[in-house]
Structure 1
């Protein structure tokens, strides 16, 4: 090819190829730059330096010595197993033993890493300058790394520049007879020096033995103790081996699994269990043998994921389910430990017993049974998914999240039991909460804190300094809970159980259609048919000039097209939109997203203000809102649009006569320039625009808002997260599934009672104010007393079948295209929204009721607590009262506080705008607000420095300040004499613990957002929401005995009431 290709062509090809490889590094594509994971790039470019940083800052080196000892113990047990074989010939045994004895190991990192100055010497030729462009930096790094690879290939060294040293993994290299245990694999939660020995063996010991087992799988058995290809088996043994093992795709991993569990079990049985510590929550009545298997199984606990059969049939590893059930069901010890009846799924009559009787004694031969079982499992899956359903496959390894925080003991019997696990404590009674939820809380309190930090200097870092070592999600634990909720809904959607519930079936039909579109054949067929469906819909809206050669202008009717759009469920009409922003009211207004790009102009303005040292106007945009106008005035301004007819056609036709009068008094407008500008108003635009242009505009607007549902962009379809689609478009149905299957309803009345306690403390705070006048106090107290609440969901959702009844007008058929389904859902949601406006239902159908959130509706004086927020780990019925008050109680008080923030103070007990403050009190209160604004402006944030904008965040800061004061009051009223302690904090001051628990709400990884974005946030930074809030509480300084004038006990403190 080189000889035949012209030199000019070759030169062009090589240059173009280089440009293709280097294009992303040029950083000229904004999408590429914005999606770039800079931390991952740094780790990938400098894995050795990253490892050193991890080891020096986050790793317990004591683990290395312990793990090294475990490798030797595993070798001894493996050798013992080989020698006890009754079928292997002596020649084979001795060679196998020799291979194990000569097995090399790297525990954590090669010895060269310990050399002082090694990394500096390795990269001495790399000179990166701050003035270098990103492109130039990458070129320099690539050059040095290539030189390292060449050096590695030419020198016998274990310093491998291609190794991924920060993988949480262990591996066996057959060509070197080398076992490598990487540092992250030897770190919490997978391994810790404090774990009992049986935990270390069940997890790490099992994996070490598994990797050793690869030395005897179909690849490993062909190499000797030096890693060289050599036939070291006795001929008879080799024949027997080949006869029984046929080299199927997953066989090597199954052999390693079988050898691993056998070897680890041998090590476990040698332990003196009388000296071993128990795991919290697993008392004397729970055997360590059972616990051993529970711990070992944690290695393969994973979230159900979606993959196709082709992938599973070619994957080298068996499924996670098989790696537990398949392996343990072949262990006689498992069945004996759990007393499983012979013939039960986990104790089949035919199994590969690891006895020493006859030729079935050695796992190298008998593990062929695994293959048979696995093939049966795959065939079963084929039957299940033959209609293009998808299969679960192994995901990322989700091992121990600190054993104490994840294990739950089984019910007392083997009968299915979905109630809360009962913890049996047989030791001396102690007043400590040992439920699984309290164990998780104890894990967070212990492991997220950084004890090296002085609480009087930086309490956020003290309470949350190690949070990032225990999470893989961005943001707080609320974000993690949102991921968990999604995973649970996805798990339900993947189940193939038949349901009689209309809402459940609607969810599954939508999910399956969404997933099926990712199949190439289905995607292509959809592309052929969906455009025809679209064209028919466009014709039903009105005559479109692009579809008609002889378009007749006289047939154009603006209101007819707008009404037809309304009939399709649209509430966005291009010219205007209909909204229900905060309350069950219909607001007609402009399309906000057609205004200039907000982020772009915000960034420019922010830079201009900062460069010229101009401070922002302290007045919040909310205060500059336009005055409300009557609906009749709006109609007079735009007589060309029949708003009455449009609104009527948004209602379900079967309920139109009932609802249309109920919504008449719930229509509002505002003095937007779109309607009231003297020159460029909507009426003028309609009159001056040619009808042909107007018709095209309306149709193109429809297309713009429909394009995503057509599913003709293959990349967008492949990236579509179908569980998100279901939760987003069928939120009420998703809520029903979550509540029925995963939620403890006992939490709802507890939180409802907690709200009343918090309201009582809030009222006391107002009453005890030494500056507010009686008139102001009475009005404020009345507002709290009249504040409504929705805990979890409206009462109308409670009766059996209520949610299914709400979906009676939504009919999704399996034969529908995804586009048709989305059309039906949009129309259904619009009808439901009109029910909401007519006050026939309490909850906005568009509200994301599966968010992990609580919120306050300013226009309804309504406090809403959503279901996921009422669930573990944020709340649990078994938590002590002081935990509920410090965590959930604060959030409730925070939301109530929004009724008295810069916006809430303008509205009365009914949510109406009314000034109920005396003039003196209003002035005093706003002066106290300024204290918080100044405090935030001057706050030295660890991520953003002294660059934050207190005017932007004042609403949230006020709610935080009021919430912290109120929840502390509620806490101090508790009778703590009988409240259980948290594990590990039995002798810790309860007031100090209160602040630690409170701070957990805001623990989050370091924020890497650009400063210009941070300046636009309405919430303060997480650091300030702990340090800023607590430093304003004299109670914090007293609890931790912080010196006056220290960062957490400043002389000046901000108070509101």
Structure 2
């Protein structure tokens, strides 16, 4: 045996002991690890792991997808814990990339207005009657804006008096005026003459009454006096003051009759029934004068049973581009879609509405608290909800929209005042054509605004073109991105059919209580949770000063919208869709909330608190943090501890 062998053998027992000791220590450490892993998860973490990343089918590299990726990457603030403030985590650097002072969702409203203005500035020739009418009005408005304001005011007052004289003798000036000669109803009566030179838009047959204040009467008196002075007409100031006071008294007397109870019982009646109440007025003749002359009789037959509804006049901005969009919304819509819009989006949006509808119905079917009668009525209402996707296909037919511009002729030689009143006359006729079924969509400014809307009295959903356009929606987007981007908006508008007021109308839009007393009470209890949540929400711009009772309908629609959107999103086969650049390894559930939240990104809200408290919509911050915090799926996706701001112990839910 060599010395080396002896040495090795003599050390062997120590080596063995050392190895055994190491193994024992390793075994002990392993047992500790296993023991710790076998302990139940602490209640501060969600039980379900987030969805794992998926292998996508390539990467979407279209310009629209690049824009979406830019927003996801550059608007977020990675220093913010999403479980603490998801709104800030997604939108924290939004103000570094946008000049808008309102939510990103409204971006395209301004963009479309600018596109239309630029189109009209190009002075392109067109055979379209609607486009040419809009162009003439635009040019008149622009020319007026360049004029001296004093001269504009002078011209307008001269035309007003000229208009009054066309109607007939003015009692304020003509003391020999004879009431018995005043012909209101006749073939050549006052109403017809007024109609020929001036008209105002109506959304229904509107009776607009309000108490006249002291300021109103003073302004009216001032305007009358200025009109007379400009036209070098002699007048008796005391007589005018007495007449103005009489007008104010009449307005106030009418307003006093117009209580909520009176509105329900007296005003909501067919026009033909008003004849019985006031037989001295020929309502049929007067009302027909509001319609397109070629369709007067047919429109009357369709609308004579409609109720008269008090309503405010539409607000018209004094900026030319906004005024054009207000008075010519359908002409503007046609120009935008035909020249600047990806029409492939229309069919994709229509398909998405149906998918959202299916998942809303599924939500009602899976509800654990709705009684069967209520459940079936809710499902029926969702099934029968009508939809309008941005742009009626019939408008693609050459001359189709021009048919609704044929009754009024615009001329380059006319004054702006005359052109403006002709445009209002045309707008009124188009509203009548819409309510009588000749026009498939209303001449409503919302059709060229970014968003969607629900009409409870029709049980109808409308998706507006600027919403189903990039950066919110595009045919090149992966399907999941389209759903995450505007699925919540679609679900929200559908949800208005089941919010605190919408639920009180049936599938035809008629007022009807189709809820069992038990379900109605449970619904109120659940929406009270939202009210309390908003009242206690610490908003970054308004603090704990918000009123949930004012915004509860919108919050209910938000909660419905996000739920059905996520349900739709989770049914997508992500492996067949491309990824978003830079988010190839992002987990699908996280990406859903990131994309959805982008719509509500905005800079600091500078709206006065007093104004905010009058608004029906909650703040942008709450529409992310408040709504998302009610979803278990959010807490699970981001592994938020129970009790953290985005995973509160108490959550609000509806169905």
> Which residue of the partner structure matches residue 570 of structure 1?
199
- Alignment of 1:539 with 2:168, yes or no, is no
CA spacing shift, 1:669–1:633, aligned 2, 3 Å: farther
- Alignment of 1:626 with 2:253, yes or no, is no
Shift in Å, 1:505: 1.8
CA spacing shift, 1:1032–1:855, aligned 2, 3 Å: same
Between the aligned partners of 1:1041 and 1:1012, the Cα distance in structure 2 is 38
CA spacing shift, 1:1034–1:623, aligned 2, 3 Å: farther
Find the partner of 1:962 among 547, 555, 560. 560
> Which residue of the partner structure matches residue 71 of structure 2?
444
Equivalent positions of 1:227-238 (< 5 A) are none
Say if 1:530 and 1:817, in contact at 8 Å, map to a contact too: no
Say if 2:293 and 2:407, in contact at 8 Å, map to a contact too: no
> Which residue of the partner structure matches residue 658 of structure 1?
298
Shift in Å, 1:773: 1.1
Q: Give structure 1 stretches of 5+ with no counterpart.
A: 1-428, 573-578, 581-585, 598-620, 673-704, 710-718
CA spacing shift, 1:551–1:922, aligned 2, 3 Å: same
Between the aligned partners of 2:571 and 2:304, the Cα distance in structure 1 is 48
Shift in Å, 1:528: 6.6
> Which residue of the partner structure matches residue 11 of structure 2?
none
- Alignment of 1:1023 with 2:641, yes or no, is no
Shift in Å, 1:644: 2.6
> Which residue of the partner structure matches residue 647 of structure 1?
287
TM value normalised by structure 1: 0.50
| CA deviation map 1:16-58 (0-9, x unaligned) | xxxxxxxxxxxxxxxxxxxxxxxxxxxxxxxxxxxxxxxxxxx
> Which residue of the partner structure matches residue 44 of structure 2?
none
CA spacing shift, 1:938–1:720, aligned 2, 3 Å: closer
> Which residue of the partner structure matches residue 492 of structure 1?
119
> Which residue of the partner structure matches residue 523 of structure 2?
925
CA spacing shift, 1:630–1:595, aligned 2, 3 Å: farther
Find the partner of 1:556 among 182, 194, 198. 182
Secondary structure in structure 2 of the residue aligned to 1:955: helix
Between the aligned partners of 1:571 and 1:499, the Cα distance in structure 2 is 28
> Which residue of the partner structure matches residue 544 of structure 2?
946
Say if 1:748 and 1:792, in contact at 8 Å, map to a contact too: yes
| CA deviation map 1:615-653 (0-9, x unaligned) | xxxxxx999973464335544444454333221211222
Shift in Å, 1:917: 1.2
Say if 1:457 and 1:1047, in contact at 8 Å, map to a contact too: yes
Secondary structure in structure 2 of the residue aligned to 1:826: helix
Secondary structure in structure 1 of the residue aligned to 2:463: strand
Between the aligned partners of 1:594 and 1:965, the Cα distance in structure 2 is 47
Between the aligned partners of 1:897 and 1:937, the Cα distance in structure 2 is 22
Equivalent positions of 1:400-479 (< 5 A) are 431-479=58-106
> Which residue of the partner structure matches residue 351 of structure 2?
753
- Alignment of 1:1050 with 2:648, yes or no, is yes
| CA deviation map 1:398-425 (0-9, x unaligned) | xxxxxxxxxxxxxxxxxxxxxxxxxxxx
Say if 2:199 and 2:421, in contact at 8 Å, map to a contact too: no
Shift in Å, 1:460: 0.6
Secondary structure in structure 1 of the residue aligned to 2:453: strand
Say if 1:941 and 1:1024, in contact at 8 Å, map to a contact too: yes
Between the aligned partners of 1:548 and 1:1004, the Cα distance in structure 2 is 58
Between the aligned partners of 2:568 and 2:142, the Cα distance in structure 1 is 49
CA spacing shift, 1:998–1:847, aligned 2, 3 Å: same
| CA deviation map 1:259-292 (0-9, x unaligned) | xxxxxxxxxxxxxxxxxxxxxxxxxxxxxxxxxx
Equivalent positions of 1:238-387 (< 5 A) are none
Shift in Å, 1:876: 0.6
Say if 1:850 and 1:867, in contact at 8 Å, map to a contact too: yes
> Which residue of the partner structure matches residue 162 of structure 1?
none
Between the aligned partners of 1:520 and 1:770, the Cα distance in structure 2 is 66
CA spacing shift, 1:667–1:430, aligned 2, 3 Å: closer
CA spacing shift, 1:626–1:447, aligned 2, 3 Å: same
| CA deviation map 1:762-810 (0-9, x unaligned) | 1111100111111111110111111110001234323232122322223
Between the aligned partners of 1:832 and 1:480, the Cα distance in structure 2 is 28
Between the aligned partners of 1:591 and 1:563, the Cα distance in structure 2 is 22
Find the partner of 1:883 among 481, 495, 517. 481
Say if 2:371 and 2:519, in contact at 8 Å, map to a contact too: yes
Shift in Å, 1:659: 2.2
Between the aligned partners of 2:262 and 2:529, the Cα distance in structure 1 is 23
Between the aligned partners of 2:378 and 2:260, the Cα distance in structure 1 is 21
Between the aligned partners of 1:957 and 1:846, the Cα distance in structure 2 is 25
Farther-moved stretch of structure 1 (527-536 vs 895-904): 527-536
> Which residue of the partner structure matches residue 849 of structure 1?
447
CA spacing shift, 1:991–1:846, aligned 2, 3 Å: closer
Between the aligned partners of 2:129 and 2:140, the Cα distance in structure 1 is 17
- Alignment of 1:667 with 2:307, yes or no, is yes
CA spacing shift, 1:623–1:965, aligned 2, 3 Å: farther
Between the aligned partners of 2:500 and 2:599, the Cα distance in structure 1 is 24
Equivalent positions of 1:18-33 (< 5 A) are none
Find the partner of 2:209 among 576, 586, 591. 591
| Aligned Cα root-mean-square deviation (Å) | 2.8
Secondary structure in structure 2 of the residue aligned to 1:662: helix
Shift in Å, 1:562: 4.2
Shift in Å, 1:657: 2.5
Between the aligned partners of 1:814 and 1:669, the Cα distance in structure 2 is 36
Say if 1:938 and 1:946, in contact at 8 Å, map to a contact too: yes
Between the aligned partners of 1:528 and 1:625, the Cα distance in structure 2 is 40
Shift in Å, 1:822: 1.0
| CA deviation map 1:439-461 (0-9, x unaligned) | 11111111111111111011011
> Which residue of the partner structure matches residue 482 of structure 1?
109
CA spacing shift, 1:1019–1:500, aligned 2, 3 Å: same
Between the aligned partners of 1:895 and 1:661, the Cα distance in structure 2 is 32
Say if 1:569 and 1:828, in contact at 8 Å, map to a contact too: no
| CA deviation map 1:69-99 (0-9, x unaligned) | xxxxxxxxxxxxxxxxxxxxxxxxxxxxxxx
| CA deviation map 1:863-900 (0-9, x unaligned) | 00111111111111111111111111111011100000
Say if 1:1032 and 1:1055, in contact at 8 Å, map to a contact too: yes
Between the aligned partners of 2:346 and 2:179, the Cα distance in structure 1 is 60
Secondary structure in structure 2 of the residue aligned to 1:963: helix
Between the aligned partners of 1:759 and 1:659, the Cα distance in structure 2 is 33
Between the aligned partners of 2:401 and 2:537, the Cα distance in structure 1 is 48
Say if 1:569 and 1:650, in contact at 8 Å, map to a contact too: no
Farther-moved stretch of structure 1 (889-898 vs 556-565): 556-565
Between the aligned partners of 1:550 and 1:624, the Cα distance in structure 2 is 38
Find the partner of 1:978 among 576, 596, 603. 576
Say if 2:299 and 2:433, in contact at 8 Å, map to a contact too: yes
Say if 2:200 and 2:425, in contact at 8 Å, map to a contact too: no
Between the aligned partners of 1:863 and 1:514, the Cα distance in structure 2 is 34
CA spacing shift, 1:1041–1:894, aligned 2, 3 Å: same
Shift in Å, 1:1056: 0.5
> Which residue of the partner structure matches residue 514 of structure 1?
141
Between the aligned partners of 1:555 and 1:623, the Cα distance in structure 2 is 37
